Chains A and B, each alone.
Chain A
Amino acid sequence: MNYNVNDKGYYGEFGGAYIPEMLYPNVEELRQNYLKIIKDDSFQKEFEQLLKEYVGRPTPLYYAKRFSEKYKTKVYLKREDLCHTGAHKVNNTIGQILMAKRLNKTRIIAETGAGQHGVATATVCALMGLECIVYMGEIDIKRQAPNVARMKMLGAKVIPATSGSKTLKDATNEAIRDWINNPTNTHYIIGSVVGPHPYPDMVARFQSVISREIKWQLLEKEGRDQPNYVVACVGGGSNAAGAFYAYLNQPEVGLIAVEAAGKGIHSGESAATSVLGKMGIIHGSKTLLMQTHDGQITEPYSISAGLDYPGVGPLHAHLYTSGRGEFISITDAAAMQAGLELCQLEGIIPAIESSHALAIFKDRKFKKEDVVVVNLSGRGDKDLATYIEYFNLK
C-alpha cells in the first residue's frame, strides 16, 4: 500500500477538498502549482538555505542516554525544539512563505491555537516583509498572552475569533472566511497537515525535512537509516507527518502517533480523535473528527493547546484506519509527569505536546535493542505557566 496522497488528493478514503466555490480558485491555483514550485531548483536552494542559516537546521538527533537506561531501550530525540521560534512549525512557514512569494501574494493570513504557528508565521512575514494577519480564538488570546505579544512585536495583526467556541477551530474558520473575502492577493498559511488538498500534502512535504535528517543522522550513529519506531504527538499532525514521511512506505518502521486523552478518553474532556472521532468534513477535508451524532463539530480538550484540534490530518486518519500507524492516547497527568521526567533525566524542558510522545514509554514496552526516535517537536518555554501551576513550582 502507498501512504502518500493520490492524484485526486486522497489518502485512502480521507482528504479531498470540500470547500465552497468561493475558495475554489485559490485552492485550485495552489493545487496546480505547488509541486512544480517545490520541485524547482531555485525554490529548493532558497528553502534549504533558510532552513540551515535561519532556522538552524539540521537539528540534532540526540541519544538520550539516561532516558534510555530508565526505559531499557535505545531512545533518540529529534531536537525540533531547537528550531528558531521553538518548534517544528517554522519548517512549514518558511516553505509556505516562499510558495506565497512565487504565487505573487502580498498578504498572509494564518490561524493559531496556542500561538506557536502564529509566531512562526509572523516571523517569516517579518523576514520577507509581507503583511501578516493572524486569527486566534478570543479565549486562546487570553490564555497565551506571551505569544500574542511576540506576534505583535514581529509586526503581525492579531484578530480575535469571536465566533463559535472562540478557540483554534473557530480561528481556522475565520482565516478561511478572510480568504474567501480576499481571493486574489492573499495566501493562507495553514499550520498543520489539515485543510483541503493540497494543504495536507504540501505541509507534510515541508515538514518531511525532519525524517530526511533522521535517516542520515541515524545512519551515522547506528549504521542503519531505519529506526524500529518513530514516535510523535498528533494534534492536526504536522510534526508527526514530518517525522513519519520518509518511512511511510517502509512497513518495517513502526509509526506511533500519540494523541491527547485529556482528562481521560471517555471523560468528555479529551482530544483523542482516532478513538472518539468519526469520518466527516472539517475545514475542507474528509477525515476523522470529533462531532455530535448530528454532525456538529465538538470542542476537544487537552492541557496542551497544540493538541486540542477536533480533527486530525487525513494522512493520519488513513494511517489509523489502515493499521499502518499505532495510535496511543496519553492523559494530561501522564504527559505532565513525562515532561518533568525529561527535565530531570536529560536537562531538556519539552513542550507539553511533545511530553505526550515521551509519556508512552511507561506502558508501551520496547525491546532493549530497539531504536526508537521520538520527535521532540517543541520546547517548553511557552508552557512554563502551565508547568508552574500544575507542579505548584511557585
Chain B
Amino acid sequence: MNRITQRLSENKKILSIYFTAGYPNLGDTIPILKELEKSGVDMVEIGLPFSDPLADGPTIQASSTKALQNGMTTALLFEQLKEVRKSISIPLILMGYFNPVLQYGVEAFCAKCSEIGIDGLILPDLPLAEFTNEYQPIFKKHHLINMFLITPQTSTERIRQIDAISEGFIYMVSSSSTTGKLDGFGSLQTSYFKRIAKMQLQHPQIVGFGINNATTFSMATQHTKGAIIGSAFIKMLTQQGVGGISKFTATIR
C-alpha cells in the first residue's frame, strides 16, 4: 500500500508540513525531514522551488527565490533525496509547479520519484482535464498519487469529479486566496468545512492555507482528516532554522 493511503487509513488527525527545498540553506532538505519525522509530523510536502509561483503569497515566494539563488534544481533535489528512505519513513509528497516537471520530462520525473520513494505529487497548475487526458497512466505506472485541490468556489459537480479521480486525499484550500494570506478562520471557513464534510466524499480531505497555530489546526481538522502548514512553518525556519522545528510542531497539537 502507498504510504499516503496507509497513513490516511489510520485513526488520527494528520499534521502535514510544507517546506521549500533548498531553503533556508541548500543542504537543509534531509535535516529538515529528519527533524519533522522525529517531531511526530505525519506527512511532508517538499516544495520544488519555481521562479513564478502564481498561487503563493510573499512568504513562500521569497523562500522559492532564495532556494533558487542557493542553487536548488530538480536534479539536485533528487540527488539529495536519493537515500531518503534509509532514514525517513513518513509519506513524502513533492509539491511544485508543472513547468519544471515538464522540462525534466513527466515520465522521467515520475520514474525518479518512484525510485527514491516519493509517494505522491501536488502540482497545482496541472489541471484535472490535462492530467486525465495525458498523464494519469504515467502516474499510475510509477505508483504515484496525484492530489487535487478544491476551494470554496469549486462547484459540487467538480468536487465529485475530483473525488472520483482522486486516490489519496483531497487538498482542501481553506479560502479563495494565495498561500499565507489568511490570519485565522471565520464563519466562512467553518461553513465550508461542514458543507464538504456533508458531501461524504470517498476520499479524506486535508486542509491547507491559513493554518498557523493550534487554534487553526484544531478548527481545520474538526470536520476533516488533517491540515497542512506551509507559510507559518517557513516563517519559523527563517527565524529559527532547523533547530526550531520540534518546538514549533509541539505548539500545533
| A residues less than 8 Å from B189 (CB atoms) | none
Report Cα–Cα, A184/B57, bound state, in Å: 19
B55 at the interface (CB under 8 A from A): yes
B74 in contact with A22 (CB, 8 Å): no
Q: Which of A1-54 contact B (CB under 8 A)?
A: 16-22, 24-25
B55 in contact with A20 (CB, 8 Å): yes
Which listed residue (B68, B104, B150) contacts A21, Cβ 8 A? B150
Chain A 135-178, CB-CB to B under 8 Å as 1, else 0, gives: 00000000000000000000000000001100001100100110
Q: Which of B91-133 contact A (CB under 8 A)?
A: 97-104, 124-127, 130
Which listed residue (A18, A279, A280) contacts B130, Cβ 8 A? A18
Which listed residue (B61, B99, B127, B177) contacts A282, Cβ 8 A? B99
Chain B proximity of A186: nearest CB distance (Å): 11
A60 at the interface (CB under 8 A from B): no
Which listed residue (A164, A177, A184, A279) contacts B65, Cβ 8 A? A164
Chain A 169-204, CB-CB to B under 8 Å as 1, else 0, gives: 110010011001111100000000000000000000
A296 in contact with B68 (CB, 8 Å): yes
| B residues less than 8 Å from A21 (CB atoms) | 124, 148-151, 154, 173
B104 in contact with A295 (CB, 8 Å): yes
A291 in contact with B103 (CB, 8 Å): yes
A281 at the interface (CB under 8 A from B): yes
A163 in contact with B58 (CB, 8 Å): yes
B89 at the interface (CB under 8 A from A): no
Chain B proximity of A297: nearest CB distance (Å): 5
Which listed residue (B73, B125, B181) contacts A19, Cβ 8 A? B125
A177 in contact with B54 (CB, 8 Å): yes
| B residues less than 8 Å from A180 (CB atoms) | 54-55, 176-178
A215 at the interface (CB under 8 A from B): no
Q: Which of B146-165 contact A (CB under 8 A)?
A: 148-151, 153-155, 158
Report Cα–Cα, A315/B155, bound state, in Å: 30
A278 at the interface (CB under 8 A from B): yes
Report Cα–Cα, A283/B99, bound state, in Å: 11
| A residues less than 8 Å from B68 (CB atoms) | 296
Which listed residue (B58, B148, B176) contacts A22, Cβ 8 A? B176
A295 in contact with B99 (CB, 8 Å): yes
B217 at the interface (CB under 8 A from A): no
B176 in contact with A181 (CB, 8 Å): yes
Chain A proximity of B137: nearest CB distance (Å): 19
B75 at the interface (CB under 8 A from A): yes
Could you tell me the dominant secondary structure of chain B's interface residues? loop
Nearest neighbor of B75 in chain A, beta-carbon distance: A294
A284 at the interface (CB under 8 A from B): yes
B102 in contact with A281 (CB, 8 Å): yes
Report Cα–Cα, A180/B52, bound state, in Å: 15
| B residues less than 8 Å from A19 (CB atoms) | 54, 125, 127
| A residues less than 8 Å from B153 (CB atoms) | 22, 24-25, 183-184
Chain B proximity of A355: nearest CB distance (Å): 29
A362 at the interface (CB under 8 A from B): no
Nearest neighbor of B98 in chain A, beta-carbon distance: A281
Q: Which of A85-114 contact B (CB under 8 A)?
A: none
Report Cα–Cα, A136/B161, bound state, in Å: 38
Which listed residue (A17, A22, A184, A279) contacts B55, Cβ 8 A? A22
Chain A proximity of B89: nearest CB distance (Å): 29
| A residues less than 8 Å from B73 (CB atoms) | 294
Chain A proximity of B166: nearest CB distance (Å): 13
Which listed residue (B52, B102, B124) contacts A20, Cβ 8 A? B124
| A residues less than 8 Å from B148 (CB atoms) | 21
| A residues less than 8 Å from B65 (CB atoms) | 163-164
A365 at the interface (CB under 8 A from B): no
| B residues less than 8 Å from A163 (CB atoms) | 58, 61, 65
Report Cα–Cα, A180/B181, bound state, in Å: 11
Q: What are 21 A-B pairs with beta-carbon distances under 8 A?
A: A20-B124, A20-B125, A20-B149, A22-B178, A24-B127, A24-B151, A24-B158, A25-B154, A163-B58, A173-B52, A176-B54, A177-B55, A177-B57, A177-B178, A281-B102, A284-B125, A294-B104, A295-B99, A296-B51, A296-B100, A297-B51
A residues near B (Cβ < 8 Å) are: 16-22, 24-25, 163-164, 169-170, 173, 176-177, 180-184, 278-284, 291, 293-298
| Known contacts A21-B150, A22-B151, A281-B125, then 18 further A-B pairs from the complex at CB < 8 Å, ordered by chain A residue | A17-B127, A21-B151, A22-B149, A22-B177, A164-B51, A164-B52, A173-B54, A177-B56, A180-B54, A180-B178, A181-B176, A283-B54, A284-B54, A291-B99, A294-B104, A295-B99, A296-B68, A297-B52
B residues near A (Cβ < 8 Å) are: 50-58, 61, 65, 68, 73-75, 97-104, 124-127, 130, 148-151, 153-155, 158, 173, 176-178, 181
